[in-house]
Amino acid sequence: MFVTWRLVCVAVITLAGSDVRATLGRPSVSLLGSGASFPSRLYVEWAAAFKAFRKDKVQLQMTYKSTGSGQGNAMTIDRRQEVHYAGSDLLLTNNTYRQVPDLQMLPTSAGAVVIIVNLPGIKTLKLTPEVLVGIYNGTYTLWSDPDLKSLNPDLDLPMKHIRVVVRSDTSGTTEIFTRALSAFDTKWRDTFGWFSKGLNESADPNLRWNSSAYWLSGRTSLGVSGVVTAVKYSISYVSLLATRHLGLTRCKLSNKAGRSLAPSLDAIRRVVKAGNGKFDTRFNADLVDSNGAQSYPIVAYTYLVIRMKTMKNCDSAKELYRYIAWFTTNEEASYLCKENGMIPLSKNASERIVRGKYRVLCERLIHS
């Protein structure tokens, strides 16, 4: 692997080496990412911190654009634009790996998908997985439904239609959410399935929202949060971070043990700890509907999608791998993770990325 990578680097330097050495002294290098909105604020803050970490070595132009997992992956896979990595909550398919065997997904952190509602005067709401499925399949249409009232006997739930909001763009957050709905209910799994496609994109018609159940849609987690903020009696699903500064009501959701839990860093941490860094051969892991009395039921890893051997710019490739080594081991990176509503990788997972089978190329490249 190292020999192949080094040959690629030599070729790039020969063809375009002077382009990135734009200034005397410290080289000027770009490192561009695009994709998932789920961890977007974390990636923006990581970029600023890593840029400062590298300032004595390189003039790093580093940005991350929140475009949604689908678009970020497409940019990286098809090279539609100069993007060096994608942020993705959306797992790559076997067909994609066959078409582009150079691709690799690397987990960066774990987060929760949170159910938010806009119910005037109500600050907390309890849901079960069964009721959540029923809201999204169209079984429950009124907030005053007896099943909702029985879960929340102290609340004066209004006799208003439930305005279901979904993502309109291809979204890893949608995939995590529908993966959870499929785990909660076999009928949902068999009827609607687990999907990421937006409302107007081609897909198996069975892998789609029930058109009679949803009312509105929005792009990205922040866009959906904005719709729920503006529309009374609405409900949707977003990242934990997207709820922090908007004052939206976060629902409690019961888990396999029957415990009703609010989404929190502690609840995410328990799920990650229970998983103990167990990944499949693609370095993916499914955390939804985990066992454990204190485990929040909709938790997932978010990933970077990178090209292991065929990045076009060698200097950008080196900085990308230094960046990966940094966020998997650096204390500031871990601190920023928690500050942005995410949980860092376990020590087990970090060691596998830095030293084990999924080591990012080689230490000579990372530290050169």
Q: What is the pLDDT of residues 133-188, one digit of tens each?
A: 999 999 999 999 999 999 999 999 999 999 999 988 878 888 899 999 999 999 99
Task: Give the mean pLDDT of the chain.
Answer: 83
As to burial, measured by CB atoms within 10 angstroms (0-12 exposed, 13-18 middle, 19+ buried), residue 132 is buried
Q: Which of 244, 265, 298 is the last residue of a domain?
A: 298
Q: Which residues neighbour 98 within 8 Å (Cβ) at sequence distance 6 or greater?
A: none
* Torsion 335-339-340-341 (CA) sign: positive
Domain assignment of residue 31, yes or no: yes
Tokens of 164: 């279901």
Whether residue 25 is found in the same domain as residue 122: no
Least confident of 46-50, 125-129, 279-283: 279-283
Domain assignment of residue 76, yes or no: yes
Helix (H, G, I), strand (E, B) or coil at 261: strand
Whether residue 136 is found in the same domain as residue 194: yes
CATH number at 347 reads 3.40.190.10
- Per-residue model confidence (pLDDT) at position 79: 65
Q: Which of 265, 298, 331 is the last residue of a domain?
A: 298
Higher pLDDT, 51 or 36: 51
Whether residue 266 is found in the same domain as residue 137: yes
Domain assignment of residue 288, yes or no: no
Nearest alpha-carbon partner for 50 in 327, 315, 338? 327
Domain assignment of residue 99, yes or no: yes
Whether residue 220 is found in the same domain as residue 305: no
Higher pLDDT, 81 or 302: 302
- Per-residue model confidence (pLDDT) at position 22: 42
Residue 195 pLDDT level (bands cut at 50, 70, 90): confident
* Torsion 274-308-62-28 (CA) sign: positive
Name the range with the highest mean pLDDT among 76-90, 98-112, 231-245: 98-112
Q: For 28, which DSSP code?
A: E
Radius of gyration of the chain (CA): 21
Tokens of 146: 């007896």
Whether residue 15 is found in the same domain as residue 99: yes
Tokens of 362: 């080689």
Whether residue 130 is found in the same domain as residue 106: no
CA distance 85 to 101: 15
Q: Which residues neighbour 297 within 8 Å (Cβ) at sequence distance 6 or greater?
A: 129, 180, 184, 253, 254, 255, 256, 261, 288, 289, 290
Domain assignment of residue 286, yes or no: no
Q: Which of 298, 329, 346 is the last residue of a domain?
A: 298
- Please identify which residue in the block is written with the tokens 């079960």: 128
Q: How far is CA 340 from CA 278, 301, 356, in A?
A: 24, 14, 28
Domain assignment of residue 283, yes or no: no
Domain, as residue range, for 202: 112-275+293-298
Whether residue 60 is found in the same domain as residue 133: no
- Per-residue model confidence (pLDDT) at position 276: 65
Whether residue 84 is found in the same domain as residue 9: yes
Say if residues 214 and 165 touch (Cβ distance below 8 Å). yes
One-character DSSP codes across 90-101: SPPPHHHHHH-T
Q: How many residues appear in the chain? A: 368
Whether residue 31 is found in the same domain as residue 169: no
210 pLDDT more than 60: yes
Give the total number of structural domains in the chain: 2
Whether residue 134 is found in the same domain as residue 235: yes
Single-letter amino acid code for the residue at 344: P
Whether residue 327 is found in the same domain as residue 230: no
Domain assignment of residue 285, yes or no: no
Single-letter amino acid code for the residue at 339: E
Orientation of helix 40-53 relative to helix 331-339, angle to 10°: 150
Q: What is the pTM of this model?
A: 0.83
CA distance 88 to 107: 9
Q: How far is CA 220 from CA 74, 169, 186, 253, in A?
A: 16, 7, 28, 22
Whether residue 147 is found in the same domain as residue 218: yes
β-strand 126-127 against 103-117: which pairing, if any? unpaired
Domain assignment of residue 313, yes or no: yes
Structural element, H or E, at residue 32: strand 28-35
